[in-house]
Amino acid sequence: MAILDIITYPDARLREVATEIDSFDHPVVQQLIEDLLETMAALPVCVGVAAPQAGHACRLLVMQCGNARKPPPEHHGLLVVGNPEILQWSGMEVGREGCLSLPDYTGNVMRAATLQVRFQDRFGVAQTLTLSGFEARVMQHEMDHLDGKLFTDRIVSRKSDLFARKQRT
């Protein structure tokens, strides 16, 4: 296993649309899953990492909302998500987001409050989950990376909704 380097804006790879994973039983895919999990675990309060953030243009992400500073009371635990697709969504909420690939900023972003998502787990088995609140926000944020989008693409105003991140020492 390895801790992967996270690429940062303005690296052009962050704008690439990732390709679907054909086979989850391939050793390279399983190694990437392990590396993404190790990378997420090594980063303080990291709740998700998408493969494109580590320079791998495939439709794969990992997330664990229990890693948040203030974990939501209900979440699905550790998720390995391949080839995700939003089936349904409802409600809209504004929330503050940050990103490993834009480490100096946070921003207010409008996202669906509840999602139903279909995806393949780490073994390629089809799953469907309903996510809400913070967990739905994280899923949407990480899925945006698979489509070459950043949270800054979704803020209403760079003037009033984008903030310099407070530096922690």
Say if residues 32 and 62 touch (Cβ distance below 8 Å): no
Pairing verdict, β 78-99 and 48-50: unpaired
Angle at alpha carbon of residue 108, lines to 104 and 114, rounded to 5°:
125
Q: Find the helix or strand (DSSP H, E) in which 133 lies.
A: helix 133-146
Assess whether 142 carries a catalytic annotation.
Answer: yes
Q: Which one from 34, 74, 93, 142 is the annotated catalytic residue?
A: 142
First vs last C-alpha separation in the chain: 29
Q: Find the helix or strand (DSSP H, E) in which 96 lies.
A: strand 78-99
What residues are labeled active site? 142
